[in-house]
Amino acid sequence: MSGSLTIAGLGPGAAGLVTPEVSVALDEATDVVGYIPYVARVPDRPGLVKHASDNRVELDRSRLALDLAARGRRVVVVSSGDPGVFAMASAVFEAIEAGPAPWRELDIRVLPGITAMLAAAARAGAPLGHDFCAINLSDNLKPWALIEKRLRLAAEADFAMAFYNPRSRARPEGFARALTLLQEVCADSRPVIFARAVSTPEEDLRVVPLPKSTADMADMRTMVIVGSSRTRVIARSGPPIVYTPRSAP
Amino acid sequence: MSGSLTIAGLGPGAAGLVTPEVSVALDEATDVVGYIPYVARVPDRPGLVKHASDNRVELDRSRLALDLAARGRRVVVVSSGDPGVFAMASAVFEAIEAGPAPWRELDIRVLPGITAMLAAAARAGAPLGHDFCAINLSDNLKPWALIEKRLRLAAEADFAMAFYNPRSRARPEGFARALTLLQEVCADSRPVIFARAVSTPEEDLRVVPLPKSTADMADMRTMVIVGSSRTRVIARSGPPIVYTPRSAP
């Protein structure tokens, strides 16, 4: 049997959000490779070898997975959410491009998943129902000036904005700067959704007007969605519904 | 039994991309409401009433679903892809906001799905692996000038761009104008992915440099993804891999 490499998205956490296609790939794998908490989500079974690694070693992890596949193993690299959105797929392809030529000829597939942005949006209503953008607020791999430039242009374009990695221990101040920038540029009371750990037992959802949003409302497990100027909040007895209408003037 | 309204995403087409959560909702529904081809994807069974309607009647369809739920039915509104991304969720919330007060108090859930952008990106590699935006190119509900403004700002921000509804019979010229604009503004050979009917038997994928992209490469079933300035193409024996690196200078 020749080896293969599948890069699979496990969704945001709940088993009900793992696609059947991904479940089949995991059932057929000989090796699962990924960040510790994601590998832990894959049930143990005889014949399955798990390779769990710490955060921030994406390229090492990718090379391990590629090497295993090249040696004939059926390898699944697991990501949270969708592997193609601020997750493992790009890291694997970076490793392939810089690696030995035979890696390019491996049997490689990417299996999409429910990315955090879609799960968070669904819980809140439909804040991404019109044009939107997705920005990784981590400045590990890009300069902060580029993040600020994108925030300004996204506000000018009147996109709704989904922010991945708003806050981490290593960068506590970046998200506060992003919020201050948006408060100045947008100058309105559009809703901001702080969606923490959606679809897990720790799920928590808050909707806060932009001027009252503060950085401590997000942590490493929070997805932040900022509405466009046209995003609406429907009040009701339960949590409000936040949605962006389909039309724009 | 009190009524409920679930707005569910069926994914791009393949059964393997329908989440278990959505399958359960469909199994428990008394009524399924949606556009004809999406309702047709739900298997018939005794006790399930299907309400299929034509395109472009989203608000009428939403009101029908809300009325059924208010009368005690367990209603599932089906969308292709994710219901919150250029699909039915915003239409339902527009109907709720404009409708009778009791509609706000209904038991309403949105169940996310694999939106076309993620399925197309996965097939090509990881073109959305860095910051990106999603734009509906239809000018049914917004002026063309706003679309052009967003394209220019998205190019300036150096987002990868995912285009929904690039082309329809009613608007044959819009996509050609969008491509011409991007060819002028971007002035490079970044890859464009034309992903048609991903995960269905009619699936077709093409990767074309921006200067050689033409409007006839897309139709109503095509998702178009334009890379950022940093998007890479890895040549190999099979179809090329298109991905956007995680870092930016």
B24 shares its domain with B128: no
Q: Are A125 and B89 inside 8 Å of each other by CB?
A: yes
B218 shares its domain with B126: yes
- B126 belongs to a structural domain: yes
Minimum Cα–Cα distance from A120: chain B residue:
B112
A101 shares its domain with A48: yes
**Angle, CA B220 vertex, CA B215 and CA B223 arms, to 5°:** 75
Residues 151-180 of chain B with CB under 8 A from chain A are: 153-154, 156-159
- B177 belongs to a structural domain: yes
A231 shares its domain with A129: yes
Q: Is B169 exposed, middle or buried (0-12, 13-18, 19+ CB in 10 A)?
A: exposed
Nearest-by-Cβ selection for B112 from A118, A130, A133: A118
Q: Are B93 and A142 inside 8 Å of each other by CB?
A: no
Residue type, B103: W
Intra-chain end-to-end CA distance of chain A, in Å: 58
Nearest-by-Cβ selection for A93 from B118, B156, B234: B234
A86 shares its domain with A161: no
Interface contacts (A, B; CB < 8 Å): 236
pLDDT, tens digit (0-9, with 9 covering 90-100), for B24-79: 999 999 999 999 999 999 999 999 999 999 988 999 999 999 999 999 999 999 99
Range of the domain at A63: 4-114
Backbone angles phi, psi at A244, to 5 degrees: -110, 125
SS3 A52: strand
Q: Based on the structure, what is the number of domains in chain B?
A: 2
Q: Are A95 and A69 in contact (CB under 8 A)?
A: no
Backbone angles phi, psi at A89, to 5 degrees: -60, -45
Nearest-by-Cβ selection for B118 from A84, A93, A136: A84
Q: Are A108 and B241 in contact (CB under 8 A)?
A: yes
A110 shares its domain with A124: no
| Residues B66, B60: Cα–Cα separation, whole Å | 10
Percentages helix, strand, coil for chain B (3-state, rounded to 5) are 35, 25, 40
CATH number of residue A72's parent domain: 3.40.1010.10
Position B171 pLDDT exceeds 80: no
Boundary-marking domain end, from A114, A147, A176: A114
Boundary-marking domain end, from B114, B132, B161: B114
Q: Is A77 exposed, middle or buried (0-12, 13-18, 19+ CB in 10 A)?
A: buried
- A178 belongs to a structural domain: yes
Per-residue tokens: B201: 């038997």
Boundary-marking domain end, from A97, A114, A131: A114
DSSP assignment of B133-194: EEEE---SSS-HHHHHHHHHHHHHTT-EEEEES--BTTBTTHHHHHHHHHHHHH-S--EEEE
SS3 B103: helix
Confidence at residue B170, expressed as pLDDT on a 0 to 100 scale: 72
A208 shares its domain with A127: yes
Q: Are B42 and B149 in contact (CB under 8 A)?
A: no
Q: Are B117 and B145 in contact (CB under 8 A)?
A: no
Mean pLDDT of B113-138: 98
Nearest-by-Cβ selection for A89 from B110, B156, B243: B243
B59 shares its domain with B35: yes
Confidence at residue B94, expressed as pLDDT on a 0 to 100 scale: 98
Confidence at residue A168, expressed as pLDDT on a 0 to 100 scale: 73
- B104 belongs to a structural domain: yes
Question: What distance in Å separates residue B47's CA from the closest CA in chain A?
Answer: 24
CATH number of residue B171's parent domain: 3.30.950.10
Q: Are B89 and A122 inside 8 Å of each other by CB?
A: yes
- B61 belongs to a structural domain: yes
Q: Are A244 and B90 inside 8 Å of each other by CB?
A: yes
A172 shares its domain with A228: yes
Q: Are A94 and B245 inside 8 Å of each other by CB?
A: yes
Q: Are A114 and B111 inside 8 Å of each other by CB?
A: no
pLDDT along chain A (249 residues), means of 10: 91 98 98 97 97 92 98 98 98 98 97 98 98 95 95 98 88 91 98 98 98 96 98 96 96
Nearest-by-Cβ selection for A90 from B87, B236, B246: B246
> What's the mean pLDDT when you consider all of chain B?
96
**Angle, CA B185 vertex, CA B182 and CA B188 arms, to 5°:** 80
- How many angstroms from the chain centroid is the CA of residue A134? 9
Q: Are B84 and A119 inside 8 Å of each other by CB?
A: no
Contacts of A114 (CB under 8 A, 6+ apart): A9, A11, A12, A17, A19, A81, A82, B19, B112, B113, B114
Residues 21-80 of chain B with CB under 8 A from chain A are: 21, 24, 58
Confidence at residue B35, expressed as pLDDT on a 0 to 100 scale: 97
A150 shares its domain with A184: yes
Q: Are B168 and B218 in contact (CB under 8 A)?
A: no
- B248 belongs to a structural domain: no
Per-residue tokens: A216: 């401590």
A102 shares its domain with A136: no
